[in-house]
């Protein structure tokens, strides 16, 4: 019989880990949960989790043999996630409430076996836009199953098992994904101490195929950019070109994650993932203002370079960038879903990729939730402007 494992055997470093976060939340706007406007927003950013064996945290084994280590989600001005709301036309960011405890643990599921393990956090958040500051009353319980510490998600893998589309509330989270339970959760206007005011909510976090779900990644480099471009559609037999823009300062535009060979297990080469995209324009044929975004459930992944590089630093420029993107188009009448992946390709002059044009000439049906074709996507052009490159992506850039 093998000896019982504890987390002490892992020789965990006595320092926090600082993952890149990719998350999604389905929100309902207004004070009526059942009839309010509903939207799924993709977020990304930077967080810090303190854990044993740092001072103030414990490793323990209970009477049934389950080993547990304690963890804490910290609050700081640069820590949090941000995304762009189509409904609000505004940046939305979620921060950790510094006045309340945000504690959790990693705990063995089977006593004496370190993995798989339960990763659980009780969160208190603050939600901010350019005009709102909101807080919620109840702790948000989030949990998932992890196979390692730190619990980084494997590059280019998705948050759920399968590809949900549209309405519904049941999802099967993939390993390494934290999912909120006990939703819906109401958010209220907040005072200076981040306390909710009154009994009339401003929005809700809702159960959905994309409830409040979080993945932790460890990319080699992160590229965020303002995007200018266009989308060509065929709608009711008519060809329509829509100019698109997305400002990085509003948490729109694009975010690209780069994973060198030391960050993935597939040999040489640099992997790339378009983790977030939000660009908007006007299309009368689809009802008015539209937004092009990447799908949350289907990762938009590909490669950067020739595929034989032994490190990110060994990239030769100009470097080819290829992405199989899973796209969605938000319209005033509902979201349309690209039926197949759209292959975007471009060449970057350097790592910053400023001025890089990503292009796809394709013919992809755009489907409504009921599966009917509402339009066809025939051309996409995205040009990266004003790029920001770094190992972390803080919310206050």
Task: Kindly state the DSSP code that residue 10 receives in the 8-state scheme.
Answer: G
Query: Cα separation of 199 and 184, whole Å?
Result: 15
Token couple for 9:
């055997």
- Taking CA atoms, 311 is separated from 264, 267, 306, in Å, by 11, 10, 12
174: nearest Cα among 130, 138, 144, 200: 144
Is residue 111 a contact partner of residue 271, using CB atoms and an 8 Å limit?
Answer: no
pLDDT at residue 128, rounded to an integer: 96
366 Cβ contact list (under 8 Å, min separation 6): 233, 329, 336, 337, 338, 339, 373, 374, 375, 376, 377
Region class of 287: left (phi > 0), else alpha (psi between -120 and 50), else beta: left
Give phi and psi for 263, each to the nearest 5.
Answer: -105, -5
The answer to whether the beta carbons of residues 186 and 137 sit under 8 Å apart is yes
What is the per-residue pLDDT across 82-98, written as a single tens digit (0 to 9) for each?
999 999 999 999 999 99
In this structure, what is the dihedral angle of CA atoms 143, 47, 255, 180, given to the nearest 10 degrees? Answer: 20
Contacts of 142 (CB under 8 A, 6+ apart): 120, 121, 122, 123, 178, 179, 180, 181, 212, 214
Tell me the C-alpha distance between 94 and 128, whole Å. Answer: 7
Render pLDDT for 199-237 as a digit per residue (tens, 0 to 9): 999 999 999 887 899 999 999 999 999 999 999 999 999
CA 236 to chain centre: 34
What is the pTM (predicted TM-score) of this model?
A: 0.94
pLDDT at 172: 87
Spell out, as residue ranges, where the chain has pLDDT lower than 70: 1-2, 165-169, 396-397
Cα(328)–Cα(354) distance, integer angstroms: 25
Burial of 272 (0-12, 13-18, 19+ CB in 10 A): buried
DSSP for 125-152 reads EEEE-SS-EEEESS-EEEEEEESSSS-P
pLDDT of residue 347: 97
Q: Give 3-state DSSP helix, strand, coil % of the chain, rounded to 5.
A: 5, 50, 45
Pick from 115, 19, 104, 15: nearest CA to 67: 115
* 135 neighbors 195 (Cβ within 8 angstroms): yes
């Amino acid at each position: 019989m093998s000896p019982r494992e504890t987390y002490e055997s892992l020789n965990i470093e006595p320092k926090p880990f600082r993952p890149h976060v990719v998350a999604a939340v389905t929100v309902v706007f207004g004070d009526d949960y059942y009839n309010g406007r509903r939207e799924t927003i993709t977020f990304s950013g930077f967080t810090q989790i303190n854990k044993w064996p740092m001072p103030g945290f414990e490793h323990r084994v209970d009477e049934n043999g389950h080993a547990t280590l304690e963890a804490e989600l910290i609050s700081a001005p640069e820590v949090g996630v941000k995304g762009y709301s189509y409904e609000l036309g505004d940046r939305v960011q979620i921060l950790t409430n510094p006045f309340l405890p945000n504690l959790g643990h990693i705990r063995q599921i089977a006593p004496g076996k370190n993995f798989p393990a339960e990763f659980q956090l009780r969160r208190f958040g603050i939600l901010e836009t350019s005009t709102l500051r909101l807080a919620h009353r109840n702790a948000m319980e989030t949990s998932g199953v992890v196979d390692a510490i730190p619990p980084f998600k494997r590059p280019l893998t998705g948050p759920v098992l399968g590809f949900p589309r549209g309405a519904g509330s049941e999802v099967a989270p993939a390993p390494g994904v934290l999912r909120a339970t006990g939703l819906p959760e109401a958010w209220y206007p907040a005072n200076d101490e981040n306390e909710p005011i009154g009994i009339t909510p401003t929005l809700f976090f809702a159960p959905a195929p994309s409830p409040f779900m979080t993945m932790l990644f460890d990319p080699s480099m992160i590229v965020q950019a303002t995007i200018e471009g266009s989308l060509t559609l065929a709608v009711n037999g008519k060809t329509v070109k829509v100019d698109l823009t997305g400002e990085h300062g509003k948490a729109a535009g694009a975010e690209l994650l780069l994973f060198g060979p030391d960050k993935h297990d597939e040999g040489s080469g640099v992997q790339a993932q378009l983790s977030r995209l939000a660009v908007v324009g006007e299309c009368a044929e689809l009802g008015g203002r539209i937004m092009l975004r990447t799908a949350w459930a289907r990762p938009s992944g590909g490669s950067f370079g020739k595929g034989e590089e032994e490190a990110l630093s060994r990239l030769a420029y100009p470097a080819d960038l290829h992405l199989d993107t899973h796209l969605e188009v938000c319209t005033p009448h509902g979201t349309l879903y690209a039926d197949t992946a759209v292959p975007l390709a471009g060449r970057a002059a350097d790592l910053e990729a400023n001025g890089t044009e990503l292009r796809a000439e394709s013919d992809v049906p755009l489907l409504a939730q009921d599966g009917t074709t509402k339009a066809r996507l025939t051309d996409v052009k995205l040009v990266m402007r004003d790029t920001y490159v770094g190992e972390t992506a803080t919310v206050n850039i």
